Structures are given as C-alpha cells and as structure tokens.
Amino acid sequence: MHLSRYPRLRFAHLPTPLERLDRLTEALGGPEIWIKRDDCTGMSSGGNKTRKLEFLMAEAVEQGADMVMTQGATQSNHARQTAAFAARLGMDCHILLEDRTKYQDDNYNLNGNVLLDHLHGASTEKFPGGHDMPGEMEKTAEKMRSAGRNVYVIPGGGSNATGALGYVNCALELVAQANDTGLVIDHLVHATGSSGTQAGLITGLSAINANIPLLGFGTRAPQEKQETMVYDLACKTAEKLGCPGVVSRDVVRADTSYVGEGYGLPREDTIEAVRMFAELEGILLDPVYSGKGAAGLIDYCRTGKFKAGERVVFLHTGGSAALFGYDSVLPRSRELAAE
C-alpha cells in the first residue's frame, strides 16, 4: 500500500508512542499491557480523529473548500479536532451537535469539547437526540452552498473510506514499532463507535497479513450493527486502496457489552477504568470512548479472556477534553485521613 498516492496534510505528531503499562499490568495480574498513545497526535489535545482528518482535510483543500462541516454528539472529540484543522487552514467550520445524553448541566453543554470548538472559531447548532444528523447536515450545507460557500462535508467521526486511510497508516506504524522493539502482539483492542478507526485498522492489518487479532469495544450500537458498519467500511477502504476482498468478515469483531444505558452515559466500570489509568499510569481517558474501551480491556484481563503472558495493546483514541464536561459523574477529591 502506497498511501502517498492520496492527498494528506501532515499535521499529526507521528509516530505516536507505544509504551508498556507496568503498574496497570501488575494491578491486573494477567497479561502484559501496552498502550498505543493516539491521545498524543497533537491537534487540540490530540485524539484518533487527527489521523483521519489529515486525509479528509487534504481532500477539502484539493476541492477548494472554504468551509468544512461535520456533526457529532455534544462532547464530540471529532468536532473539536475538525475545528482545530479548520483554524489552522483558515477555513470556516460549522458543527451540528446532537444531544444524545439529555445532560442539562452547563459544564456538559458549554465546557470541555464545546468550549474548544468555539475557541477554535467554529460555529455550532444544537439538535435533540434522535435526529437524522447526516440529513440535517446536508440540508444545512445546501443552504450554505446556495449562499455561495464551497462546503466540504465530513461524516460523523470522519468515518468514510478517505478518513479510514488514517488508520490503515496507523496499522502500518504499529506493526513497524512492534517489529523494531521485538514485541509480539497477541491482541489489539480499542473503543469503536462510528467505525472508521476499526475499519482502517482491520484493512491495514489484513493487507499486510499481520495476523494480529483486533477487537473493538463498542460505545453505542448493538454488536451486529457495529460489526456490519465496520465490515462495510473496511470493504470500501480496501477498494479505495486497490486491494478489494482483502478483509474477511470473520476478522471483524466487536464486543458491545460495556455500552451501558447508551452513548455518552458511563457505567461504574467506565469510571473505574478512567480512575485506574489516571492513578496508576498518569494517563487520561474519557467517559465516552476510551473509558469504555478500557473497561472492556480490564474485564477481559480479570476474567481470563486475555491470558497471563499474552501481550495486549490498547489503542488510546484520546478524548480527555470531554472530562471537563463530566465532572458531575467523576470521582471527587479524597480527603486525607485525620492523624
């Protein structure tokens, strides 16, 4: 695969680190846990969308866009990183935000990623949950186009074949790092939502015959729907790369047991995972994506699904900015015990 054939903006801080988590490994007493730090990609506090946006925003520039538009949940990491790219390129950015949690507190609705959206100069509009957000975005884009704007529309999460190229590239990067360090990866896991990250990874890993099992821990959709979305996008990505048929359906796996009551609603094990990574490793997760992915990782270690002696890589998709919108559900400070 020769990814240089596709337009790309090289804004991300790559390669992201691949590190062993010594204290978390010891605390769980099972497999050897490693982390791929895609929270360190650099744009507006980093995250997995930066890899996708390098290709998406390059396509926008190639098409002469003067405005970029996307959509997501209120505390969308993708929206924040899109706004940052637009700011760097001098483009206008408009974001449609959907209320998927019904949280009413000001921190959730005005702080965290929302604050950063506006700080980067993006305009936003809010919709109740359950809307046809792609449809609303197309209607808004058409209004802008009729007013003379050249609008480039990015799907939620940056999840199309162009955006997925970012995680094809990540698969190549990760395997190269593992080869250089002598790390044999038995399992690769991450949080999966709009499907672009997992689709890109599975396409890249399959195309180079890496033989690394990939598991996505779902954050929203039921298992069958999640796996179908990932597989369909992986097939489109493989076609774009010129290697159709390289992805087989049986290698696309998602476990949606850790979603809880719904998207953006953290369970107790989500909060525990956020706390453990922060207290043991100094690493910040978020309560929407990486926290749920880490909850799955921790449970798989505790229940023996990941076995002692195996090496597991957790791909950290970022999202720590959202923590500041979730202060009402996060652990409070601990008081020192009286002597």
Catalytic center residues: 76
Residue 245 tokens, joined: 């048929």
Residue 339 tokens, joined: 């002597």
Answer yes or no: are the C-beta atoms of 169 and 3 closer than 8 Å: yes
Residue 59 tokens, joined: 């396509």
Answer yes or no: are the C-beta atoms of 187 and 213 closer than 8 Å: yes
| First-to-final CA distance of the chain | 63
Rounded (5°) CA angle 67-322-39: 80
Partners of 32 in the β-ladder: 311
Partners of 151 in the β-ladder: 67
Instruction: Determine the Cα–Cα distance for residues 105 and 290; give it in Å rounded to an integer.
Output: 22
DSSP state of 157: G
Partners of 20 in the β-ladder: 34
Ramachandran area for residue 46 (φ above 0: left; ψ -120 to 50: alpha; else beta): left
